[in-house]
């Protein structure tokens, strides 16, 4: 027998969880650097365009798919047509891969809460991060494990899997109800404090000063679209899964607008906080902000600690910052693992607890093996790059094409949104999802592919890029096909969506 489908307690629980998923590491450590490097204030233009033309439309597409077809990603795509199930598994695979490395970043953040107390990173935080802390040994697959990462990571996995085992209401919803308000409070205190630092206004000037020429650069637009995709957690199953737990009578479309607005607001807030802080460092040390390390992990784990060390009351500031990072990361992590959990529960007829023990156990082992070793940083960098720039984009294009041309369900999905929501989702939505988004994304994908083939990313050895990058993507495709062939243990096909 099929257990009854889990549900959020209500709209509020869902909104909080959806915001919890969206607001993550991407807002705090990715957005400020990306915005600054791609035109500063002028970046807000492509960013808003990307939000309105692709972010919100795909968010609504994910919601409508999950809410109408009420299942995990593979179940939803199968219900669109038997041949489409592999796309669902491909999304599950992407989620699985991202979850394995997302955990290690959360572990770094947790460790840095502790390091903030006594400024344990010393005089040279950049050297401390890659040296003492990560014991980074370069590209490769090392089997030397770093105890200071391994053990906390093991504990984090146990906690995360326990939350999943507790289920949608008692696990996911409750975690978000505790952590999200806490995150908002702590992060706001941090940003307000940053605004009172000496030099803060110079930092903000650097951040918001527009470089309009950037708008002529195609890469800036690509950066904007990929930031929006990552940041809203769209197109890899998360929002499909989350909205499948909404009650049938739920006001779906406006929820999407609220989530998108909250996510972008948080992003902007983070940009302001981070650049006010960088302005302080510029004032103290006379270094131009443009010369600081602002991208990737370095912004959070090298530049920020350096500033914390200089600041009066630095330890408190550091604790606020890294706790915020931890909370934001944790609530995103559980959302991404729920994609995997839901799919395995439905396909194999397993309970939540069984999935946490079995699949969660496998994920934890892979995650520990790849990312708690001395080569973890390089593997993370490459896997992250390839899954996001290729995997997620392919998944988004495929979703649009399958919905529009393959299953021809676009009108039905729009009618569904309009039947359950206040407000009206107009024709514009179909035009965007059915044509403009897939075309824009295809152009973007081709350009990323050209870049990946023309020069090795970050000068990593070719063999390493082939295995960690292309190998991961190839494995996802194979796994998607294999899982599709396995028969369903729970009924999936005798499903009729509600009459409109
Ligand atoms: N939206 C998240 C963020 O901005 C990204 C994310 C969420 C990535 C969930 C993976 C899983 O950080
Ligand atoms: Na985000």
CB 245 within 8 A of CB 168: yes
What band does 4 get if pLDDT is binned at 50, 70 and 90?
confident
Q: Taking the CB of residue 28, how many other CB atoms lie within 10 A of it?
A: 26
Residue nearest to ligand 1 atom 6, measured at CA: 233
- CA of residue 31 to ligand 2 center, whole Å: 9
- CA of residue 109 to ligand 1 center, whole Å: 15
How far is the CA of 225 from the CAs of 221, 277, 389, 417, 447, in angstroms?
6, 26, 10, 24, 13
In sequence order, the β-bridge partners of residue 373 are 145
Selection from 395, 434, 164, 245 nearest residue 255 by Cα: 245
- CA of residue 457 to ligand 2 center, whole Å: 24
Number of helices and strands (H, E) in the chain? 25, 0
Rounded CA-CA distance 438/424 in Å is 23
Ligand nearest to the CA of 327: 1
Ligand nearest to the CA of 17: 1
Dihedral pair phi/psi, residue 497, rounded to 5°: -65, 160
Q: What is the pTM of this model?
A: 0.96
Dihedral pair phi/psi, residue 351, rounded to 5°: -85, 165
Ligand nearest to the CA of 106: 1
Rounded CA-CA distance 143/479 in Å is 25
- CA of residue 197 to ligand 1 center, whole Å: 30
CB 27 near ligand 1, within 6 Å: yes
CB 194 within 8 A of CB 200: yes
The answer for residues whose C-beta is within 8 angstroms of residue 450's C-beta and 6 or more apart is none
CB 465 within 8 A of CB 382: yes
Pocket test for ligand 1, best of 17, 20, 21, 263 (most atoms within 8 A of CB): 21
Could you report the per-residue pLDDT of 58-87, keeping only the tens digit for each?
999 999 999 999 999 999 999 999 999 999
pLDDT at 142 over 80: yes
Could you report the per-residue pLDDT of 243-297, keeping only the tens digit for each?
999 999 999 999 999 999 999 999 999 999 999 999 999 999 999 998 998 888 8
DSSP one-letter string for 160-220: HHHHHHHHIIIIIIHHHHHHHHHHHHHHHHHHHHHHTSTTHHHHHHHHH-B-GGGGG-HHH
CB 92 within 8 A of CB 73: yes
CB 335 near ligand 1, within 6 Å: yes
Selection from 180, 186, 229 nearest residue 330 by Cα: 180
- Residue 468: what pLDDT? 97
Could you report the per-residue pLDDT of 191-247, keeping only the tens digit for each?
999 999 999 999 999 999 999 999 999 889 988 998 999 899 999 899 999 999 999
- Residue 1: what pLDDT? 57
Could you report the per-residue pLDDT of 385-443, keeping only the tens digit for each?
999 999 999 999 999 999 999 999 999 999 999 999 999 999 999 999 999 999 999 99
Q: What residue has token string 């199930």?
A: 85
């Amino acid at each position: 027998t099929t257990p009854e489908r889990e549900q959020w307690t209500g709209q509020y629980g869902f909104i909080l969880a959806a915001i919890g998923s969206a607001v993550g590491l991407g807002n705090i450590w990715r957005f400020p650097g990306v915005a600054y490097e791609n035109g500063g204030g002028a970046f807000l233009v492509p960013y808003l365009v990307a939000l309105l033309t692709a972010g919100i439309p795909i968010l609504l597409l994910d919601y409508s798919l999950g809410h109408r077809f009420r299942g995990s990603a593979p179940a939803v795509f199968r219900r669109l047509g038997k041949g489409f199930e592999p796309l669902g598994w491909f999304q599950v695979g992407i989620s699985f891969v991202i979850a394995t490395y997302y955990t290690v970043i959360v572990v770094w953040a947790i460790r840095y809460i502790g390091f903030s107390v006594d400024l344990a990173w010393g005089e040279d935080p950049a050297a401390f991060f890659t040296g003492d802390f990560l014991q980074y040994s370069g590209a490769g697959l090392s089997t030397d494990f770093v105890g200071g990462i391994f053990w906390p990571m093991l504990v984090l996995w146990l906690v995360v899997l326990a939350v999943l085992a507790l289920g949608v209401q008692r696990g996911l919803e409750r975690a978000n109800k505790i952590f999200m308000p806490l995150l908002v409070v702590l992060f706001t205190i941090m940003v307000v404090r940053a605004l009172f630092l000496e030099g803060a206004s110079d930092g903000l000037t650097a951040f918001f000063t527009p470089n309009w020429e950037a708008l002529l650069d195609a890469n800036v637009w690509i950066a904007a679209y990929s930031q929006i995709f990552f940041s809203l957690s769209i197109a890899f199953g998360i929002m499909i899964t989350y909205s499948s737990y909404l009650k049938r009578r739920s006001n779906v479309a406006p929820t999407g607008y609220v989530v998108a607005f909250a996510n972008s607001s948080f992003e902007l807030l983070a940009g302001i906080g981070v650049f006010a802080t960088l302005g302080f460092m510029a004032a103290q040390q006379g270094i131009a902000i443009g010369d600081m390390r602002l991208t990737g992990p370095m912004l959070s784990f090298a530049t920020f600690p350096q500033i914390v060390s200089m600041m009066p009351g630095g330890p408190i500031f550091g604790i606020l910052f890294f706790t915020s990072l931890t909370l934001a990361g944790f609530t995103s992590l559980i959302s991404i693992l729920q994609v995997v959990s839901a799919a395995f529960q439905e396909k194999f007829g397993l309970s939540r607890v069984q999935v946490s023990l079995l699949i969660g156990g496998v994920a934890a082992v892979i995650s520990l093996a790849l990312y708690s070793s001395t080569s973890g940083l390089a593997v993370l960098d490459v896997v992250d790059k390839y899954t996001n720039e290729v995997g997620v984009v392919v998944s988004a294009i495929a979703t649009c094409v399958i919905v529009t041309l393959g299953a021809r369900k676009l009108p039905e999905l729009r009618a569904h949104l309009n039947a359950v929501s206040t407000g009206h989702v107009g024709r514009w939505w179909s035009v965007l999802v059915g044509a403009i988004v897939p075309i824009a994304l295809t152009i973007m994908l081709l350009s990323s592919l050209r870049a990946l083939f023309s020069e090795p990313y970050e000068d990593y050895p070719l063999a390493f890029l082939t295995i960690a990058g292309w190998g991961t993507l190839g494995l996802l495709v194979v796994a998607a096909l294999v899982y599709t062939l396995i028969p369903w243990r729970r009924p999936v096909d005798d499903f009729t969506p509600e009459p409109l």
